[in-house]
Structure 1
Amino acid sequence: MSTIIRPAELEDLNDLTELMYDYIVGFYQNPSPPIDKVHYLIRALCDTQQGIQFVAEEDGRLVGFATLYFTFSTMKADKIAVMNDLFVKEAFRDTELESQLYLKCKNYCIDQGFANMTWITSINNTRAQSFFNKMNAVQGKDWVHFSIK
């Protein structure tokens, strides 16, 4: 099997859209966003100004993706990256491919001089938490996450 982890390209639009719907609707059971908004997001991230998406390709087909958004931290007075998504199809969870996708994000942040890479996951997603522990990530304990809809 041939695994490639690389930045997403506009040619990936349809396959990446399908993966994103698997993640948004299939995995997290969220409402399906309009396809034009998903396409806008993919296109915006392909120019790498506000963020970047990486795709995991196995034998020529996309089986996973990760999304980094770029922002700043006042506490660090520096740029940081938020890994908003790390998703692989079920058959590739807890595999070397998933690790490679995560490490691509981590190494990208190091190479680009980000102060850190941060992310959150659902409190119920114990499989992902186990994966991040295995990857030597540090679980935050100092902040409480809030959001508003």
Structure 2
Amino acid sequence: MRIEIREAELADRDALRELMNRYIFDFYHYPRPEEVRLEALLDVLMEKQAGIQFVAVHEGELVGFATLYFTYSTLRSGKVVIMNDLFVTDKCRSQGVGTKLFRACSQYAAYKGYRAMLWETSKDNVEAQQFYEKMGGERDEWYPYSIKPRIGIGD
């Protein structure tokens, strides 16, 4: 299977929006995002200032994407990237597409001088865990937490 990996372009926007919805809603079963929110996120990623997306293209069709967000780490004393997403369509899984996307992200981070590339996956996504370990990823000793921001917390 011939796959091209490249940075997302404005012309990819419609196909990328569809892939992102499949990833959010169909794969992870999160609520479908409001269109205006997803459009705003796509705007940010297309600017390539706060993050960047890589796409996998097969015969002119987007079949996967990976998203990096740029931030800093005090413990690492410098810039880090967070690979927030790595998604490949069902028909292209187990064909090396995820590996190519992962390597593009890792090489981008190295080329740009980031101290680390960080990511997480669902506890029940055993397939992804095995993939990341095969790619050389190591489980961190930190537990991820999240909270939906709200006014008055802790009062």
Shorter chain as normaliser: what TM range? over 0.9
The equivalences for 1:34-45 within 5 A come to 34-45=34-45
Question: Which amino acid is the alignment partner of residue 109 of structure 2?
Answer: C
- Decide which moves more: 39-48 or 78-87: 39-48
Instruction: Give the Cα–Cα distance (whole angstroms) in 2 for the partners of residues 128 and 90 of structure 1.
Output: 14
Which structure would you say has the larger Rg?
Answer: 2
The equivalences for 1:67-146 within 5 A come to 67-140=67-140, 142-146=141-145
Question: Which amino acid is the alignment partner of residue 84 of structure 2?
Answer: N
Question: Which amino acid is the alignment partner of residue 143 of structure 1?
Answer: W
Count of equivalent residues: 148
Contact 1:10 1:43 in 2 (8 A): no
Question: Which amino acid is the alignment partner of residue 3 of structure 1?
Answer: I
**Counterpart in the other structure of 1:25:** 25
Q: What are the ranges of 5 or more consecutive residues in structure 2 without an aligned counterpart?
A: 149-155
Q: What are the ranges of 5 or more consecutive residues in structure 1 without an aligned counterpart?
A: none
- Alpha-carbon deviation of 1:93? 1.8
| Runs of 4 or more consecutive aligned structure 1 residues displaced over 4 Å after TM superposition | none
Gap change, CA 1:94 and 1:2, over 3 Å in 2: closer
Instruction: Give the Cα–Cα distance (whole angstroms) in 2 for the partners of residues 77 and 136 of structure 1.
Output: 22
Contact 1:94 1:131 in 2 (8 A): no
Output one character per residue of 1:82-111: Cα deviation in whole Å (capped at 9) or x when no partner.
000000001222221211011000000000
Question: Which amino acid is the alignment partner of residue 68 of structure 1?
Answer: L
TM-score, structure 1 length as denominator? 0.96
Question: Which amino acid is the alignment partner of residue 56 of structure 1?
Answer: A
Output one character per residue of 1:40-77: Cα deviation in whole Å (capped at 9) or x when no partner.
21121111110100100011000000000000001111
Instruction: Give the Cα–Cα distance (whole angstroms) in 1 for the partners of residues 78 and 143 of structure 2.
Output: 21
RMSD: 1.0
Residue identity over aligned pairs, in percent, reads 44
**Counterpart in the other structure of 1:60:** 60
Contact 1:4 1:56 in 2 (8 A): yes
Local SS of the residue matching 1:98: helix
- Alpha-carbon deviation of 1:133? 1.2
